[in-house]
Structure 1
Amino acid sequence: MEETCLLLILLLSGGLSTLPPHSREYQFVNQLMTWTEAQSYCREHFTDLVTIYNSNINQLLLSMSPNIDTFAWIGLYDDRYSWKWSMEGKLFYVGSTHEFLIWANGQPDCVNAKEYCVALQGQTQMDDRPCGDSYPFLCYNASSTSYILVKESRSWSEAQSYCRTYHTDLTSIRSKEEKSNITLTLNGSGVQYVWIGLYRDPWAFWSDNTTSTFTNWEPSQPNNYNSAQYCVTMYFMSGKWSDSACNEKADVFCFTGEVQNANTIRSCHHVKH
């Protein structure tokens, strides 16, 4: 038997500016699944895994859950291949294999949930690194179509500012020819790591493709323990979030509807399977 709780968010005239504008029903599914299984289940039986837009909704979901020492999946996940180029500002998929973009062994791994910028390691392979680390960096100058290695170590954002001030931007690598020219520029430089213009936004994706910047992490989270935690659970005892391995099993929060606003009616019923 599976207990499903429905939490109906009713549309208010005027509403609250911090909430989306339409009604949603929330369902707590007391059934253990992986994150992918939970996503499929929610999409088949309801609309999708839940998106949490603010503390009010977080608290409402917590009120639906049993007061026990366990967790439930929400829709937030971290896509470790959602990289963008500084020069273009557009999403550019950089998978594990590519003709001219090659990740170093075991990369990207987002150690301690802190590595969201990319440096070339050994001049040819990419490695995700903490954006606050200081390394030499490679600028691109569009007017002279040249690559400029700056050996002064700076953080990724400082390197980006420098390149945009004195050249065009941090370099991108979008062709074999660019990769070859960059390799020639770095040849003999002796640098171990050098920043390039590749970066990503952490925890930027919800399963239903809507946008929410609200977070409610546990104090030590996210930490990407063992470099394997890219999905998010809510803890029933506190309503706080943790990053978890996506193949772990947990209960599930789903929703039915579009986007939402604020008054609440709660009802629970039992569903037999």
Structure 2
Amino acid sequence: MGHKTLICAGIFIMHLMTTTRTALLSAGSNITVLQQYHFINKSLTWYEAQSFCRLKYTDLATINNMDDENQLINTLGSNVTSSWIGLYNGQTNRWLWSDGSGIASFTQWSPGEPSNSGGVEACGLMYDNGLWNDAQCGLALAYVCYEIQQDGSKKYVVYTQGQTWQNSQDLCRQKHTDLACVQTVQENLAIAAVTNVVWFGLFKDSWYWSDGTKTSFRYWKRGGSYSGNCVSVEGTQQGRWIPADCNKKATFICQGGLKLKKTVIKMKVQSDVDLTDSTTSSLILQKLETILSEQGLTDVQLKYERVFQPQLKTTENAGC
């Protein structure tokens, strides 16, 4: 009499995955998506840190405004080291706006300006006729700040006590939104109507963001002498930024959610045990997880999809 043995052939498809994370801040009835920053406590060059962040997250940290800067400082926490962010020297100067709104596409330069007399004029001022000039940032002048009203309009506030451009920027950010930026003829006329000669939010620099973001927000450390083509944030200086040598090794800050990483492993298994049995399947996955862990792969989720194709094999037994 013959009997039949069930041979189970299956293809196990293992998915190795990490998960994404999101962060939302609720402010009244508005929901604002926060920048997600991650402090990475390992020392790499700026270029190595950029590669790491692009592999694991989105890129090195970009800071768009003071809200982002405060979020960055919170991420640093008690870490007081110098940490790379995504700003680097692109070698090409552009005129930008202090509040982060990018390149000055609208301009009202006086005839022959900007002249960069002596090669040291990197800040913008406005005359009472609405025309602009470039000047040395260390001059003490009146300055004009702005803030956004509830109806979306801009309110301009002029301070007549002379300050350097940098000090004017700090004071405007403390009391209002920032130094005044100008996007239209109407805004330019509104500022000129209440001023004589004032600093406003125009400045010139050659720094770019690693992720291609056009934001022109800057938060430099005041004073001191620094050099280098990459930027680190200083935990000991209230999160201020300094230029540094890109080949120096430092901790760094990435941005963005942890990338979804999916690796598919296909393995064909043929056995005389029942691969549709959940206990058997669990034992196989546990064994694979152990092997992956021993190889240094952690924080993974393992699952499989089974393509089950039973085959019947008949075996004849000889008998009397």
| Pairwise same-fold verdict (TM > 0.5) | no
TM-score range, shorter chain: 0.3 to 0.5
Q: What TM-score comes out, normalization by structure 2 length?
A: 0.38
Q: Whose radius of gyration is greater, 1 or 2?
A: 2
Q: What TM-score comes out, normalization by structure 1 length?
A: 0.43
